Structure 1
Amino acid sequence: MPVAAPSNPPSGAPGDSPAQGSTRDVHDVLIVGGGLVGASLAIALERLGLHVGLVEATPPGALPPVFDERNLSFAEATINALTALGVMQKLRAPTGAIARIHISRRGDFGRSLLEASRYGRTEFGRVVVARDFGDALEARLAEAARLVRHRRVRFLGFAESTDDVRAIRVADADGERLLHARLVVAADGTRSGVRDALGIGVDEHDYGQMLFVTRVRGSRAPDGTAYERLTGDGPTALLPRGDRHYGLIHAVAREEAGDVAALDEAGFLARAQEVFGWRAGRLLSCGPRSSHPAIRLVAQRTVAPRAVLVGNAAQTIHPIGAQGFNLGLRDALTLAELIADARAQDSHADCGSDALLQRYAERRREDRERTIGFSDGLARLTANDASLLRPLRSLGLFAVDRVASAQSFLVGGAMGYRGDVPALCREVRA
């Protein structure tokens, strides 16, 4: 017989893993992965009075590696939700407003310019440095008194479970033990161990690109314009940060990545300048660089018995259009909303029921498919140097710049309003 979920977190130090003798307590929801999406989901669920656990590979006082110098583009819908969850208020570093989006392709005629003011907005979204966002999430998690954080804990796999509860094998410094949950959420990234343990396959495509990420300072300070410069090797983007720097994402062909990584600062800036042009003036300096392969990885299904995939565990997409985290957050918030609705009707509603998970999969289908399709199609089309496609690409840029319906489609996606959007994303906060 499964053990009933307690009304309060297990005893022990606040926020830490329960003692060995308490491991038969049943979490309503156990989230594996404390990164961008996993931590956000934990905050959204903890507000509901649920017994929530968060399995984190990093120790107290440390942030997951994803919270680095990468630049995150938060859509308006994302800002609304994170404000409602009390996270945006915890940001200490300034953020950069995206008031317009400038899109062009090297060697092609035309360009597209999207202006937030044309849609009654002052901005489409904001640029946040991942490290700063990690600090804000950590500050907000520290206020979640009911949340049980299993820290410096690795997911190993599943153990024999019942129809009502999943048993999860984890390991920490004291060895292996079991955790139990009515719902297990895989928020453990692109190479998800939970997804593999569930036997869920993936469809994967390698774009043959390596993405170099850093911050750069130009002779012109950011003015709210986000630039997307498309080339046959992938995009080079400049995002307006709040610290008078730009966030740079520079795609290179995979076979050239070693040579680019070996460039000194002056050589790297010269390369970025040559590809991007002079729209931000001369590029003067850059910070530490990191690199990441550009791949698309899509799980063949997002739910399993008493388990669900969110964020990069469900889909990892090309960063063109900057939709990855925004899409993953909508995964998390939709799940939290469905659980809240079920508990409002029945305070003992099962968070991991088949009916709830099927509703989740259905609600996420349109947004997920359209965002993945848009990102993949844009990445493939704009990176194809075939001369026959040049008129088509130029016509596309012209249409986006001049045709209201084409602009509205792009703007709606850029602001995070695609498909059945969670209620928190639509709330306007002062």
Structure 2
Amino acid sequence: MTDRHDVVIVGGGLVGASLAIALVRQGVEVGLVEAAPAGQMPAVFDQRNLSFAAATVNALTALGVMQQLRTPTGPIRRIHISRQGDFGRVRLEAQDYGRATFGQVVVARDFGEALEARLDGLSGLTRYRPARFVGFAPDEAGHRALRIADAEGERTLHARLVVAADGTRSAVREALGIGVDEHDYGQTLFVARVRATQAPDGTAYERLGDDGPTALLPRGDRHWGVVHGVAREQAESVAALDDAAWLARLQRAVGWRIGRLVASGERSAYPIARVVAQRLVADRAVVLGNAAQTIHPIGAQGFNLGLRDALTLAEEIARGDDPGATSRLAAYAARRREDRERTLAFSDGLARLTANPSPLLKPVRSAGLVAMEAQPSLQAFLVGGAMGFRGDVPALCRGEAA
């Protein structure tokens, strides 16, 4: 069986589904290859807390996704950054930059349901699910051929552009022969929902430590989303803690900024590694989202960066008749360079510096926090990146029609 599309996206997660919506909105005929069957959420749409930068909120509102959320989001009105054992702290207020918020906290499952509601019934979209990428087939002029397997057997899809949005261990990226650079941070992040004696007030806390960051994110349900980093060798013992011991550990990590922690939901654990594709494009193919770069979640940059990948690609596709033209893909890669390189450097540098326990680095870190608190220009640089306004920003992220 053979099907033809302008664009085939392999991967129906956060970035792949968002790209599909953006392209169909432009009149592009899209095939979406998804691992999860109809009526079932992909595993990525779990209880993780996603911090949407302001640029991301702008774009997802323009795409009609934010309006589909059925539960309230948590506004981030201020950010508080500190490190255990170091002097200094950084406090950022959105109102100081003429904005009501820096962004919003959204539960991944709620976001998945909103994407599904938006995808459902889109004309110009063909969904192959459950299906998996098998490999590439011999191409024909102007198209790339890929093989997928679904309940009906194996079929071949032909597309003028193939998009790899199939995650960190991307099978499409591997089949394209695109190598990766990897770094294991030796950390595991635990994610949960917690309740404290103080309800969220719009403050997001980032508490840095030797074993990784601990973040408290203000959810919209009067709970806090917690992300707690531990050394990989401690992960098994932390997972085995009962709720009382788990909450006590978190309390030691974050202090009493939100009062006493009184309850925790189920914990999920995620080993953290950096996986960065050595190039973004191949013949009639592009990698984006986690397939292009999986980064440390410190600073909450991962999905926001991936969405900017997707929307930049959508803009480039809209500028020509052939979505897989070499010139279009070269333009895409050039536009993504600054944002990608700066975000990768920021995330990796912050993760390595703040998790290094060397006493020689303590005065450097403390001086950096003090300087950041005192220098508006340094704060503005941090805020611009945190809000998603870095490099060549897609029009939808800027709140403009496209």
Same structural fold, with TM-score higher than 0.5 when normalized by the shorter chain = yes
Does the alignment pair 1:414 with 2:386?
A: yes
Deviation at 1:145, TM superposition (A): 1.8
Matched ranges for 1:313-352 at <5 A:
313-342=291-320, 349-352=321-324
Runs of 4+ in 1 over 3 A off after TM superposition: none
Q: CA offsets, 1:171-192, max 9 Å, x none? A: 0122211111110000000010
SS at match of 1:423: coil
How big is the shift at 1:428? 6.3
| SS of equivalent to 1:372 | helix
Superposed, 1:173-184 pairs within 5 Å as: 173-184=151-162
SS at match of 1:298: strand
* 1:253 to partner: Cα distance: 0.2
Q: Deviations over 1:86-119 (max 9, x none)?
A: 0000000000000000000000011110110100
User: Aligned letter for 2:209?
Assistant: T
SS at match of 2:104: strand
Q: Which of 390, 396, 400 is the matching residue for 2:368?
A: 396
- Partner of 2:139, secondary structure, is coil
Q: Give the distance between the partners of 1:311 and 1:173, measured in 2 at CA.
A: 27
Partner of 1:151: 129
Match of 1:197 in 2: 175
Aligned-partner SS, 2:368? helix
SS at the partner of 2:266? Answer: coil
Of residues 329, 351, 354, the one that matches 1:379 is: 351
Q: Secondary structure at the match of 1:322?
A: coil
Alignment of 1:265-284 (within 5 A): 265-284=243-262
Map of 1:235 onto structure 2: 213
Using structure 1 for the length normalisation, give the TM-score. 0.92
Normalising to structure 2: TM-score of the pair? 0.99
Rounded Cα–Cα distance in structure 2 between residues aligned with 1:352 and 1:399: 46
Q: Distance in 1 between matches of 2:355 and 2:387?
A: 24
Equivalence for 2:333: 361
2:252 aligned partner, one-letter code? E
User: Which aligned pairs between 1:108-127 and structure 2 lie closer than 5 A?
Assistant: 108-127=86-105
SS of the equivalent of 1:160 reads: strand
Residue in 1 aligned with 2:38?
A: 60
Separation of aligned partners in 2, 1:263 and 1:382: 26
The one-letter amino acid of 1:35's match is G
**In 2, Cα distance between the equivalents of 1:204 and 1:247?**
28
Structure 2 CA distance for aligned equivalents of residues 198 and 370 of structure 1: 26
Q: Write out per-residue CA displacement over residues 71-92 of structure 1, whole angstroms, 9 at most, x where no aligned residue.
A: 0000000000000000000000
Counterpart residue number, 1:168: 146
Matching residue's letter, 1:146: G
| RMSD (CA atoms) | 0.9
For 2:245 and 2:175, locate their aligned partners in 1 and report how far apart those are by CA, in whole Å: 44
3-state SS of paired residue (1:351)? coil
**Alignment: residue pair count:** 401
Query: Per-residue deviation at 1:162?
Result: 2.5
Of 68, 71, 92, 1:90 maps to 68
SS at match of 2:276: strand
Q: Distance in 2 between matches of 1:302 and 1:196?
A: 12
Name the % identity.
Answer: 71
1:4 alignment partner in structure 2: none
Displacement after TM superposition at 1:202 (Å): 0.2
Amino acid at match of 2:322: D
Alpha-carbon distance between aligned partners in 1 of 2:27 and 2:386, rounded to the nearest angstrom: 33
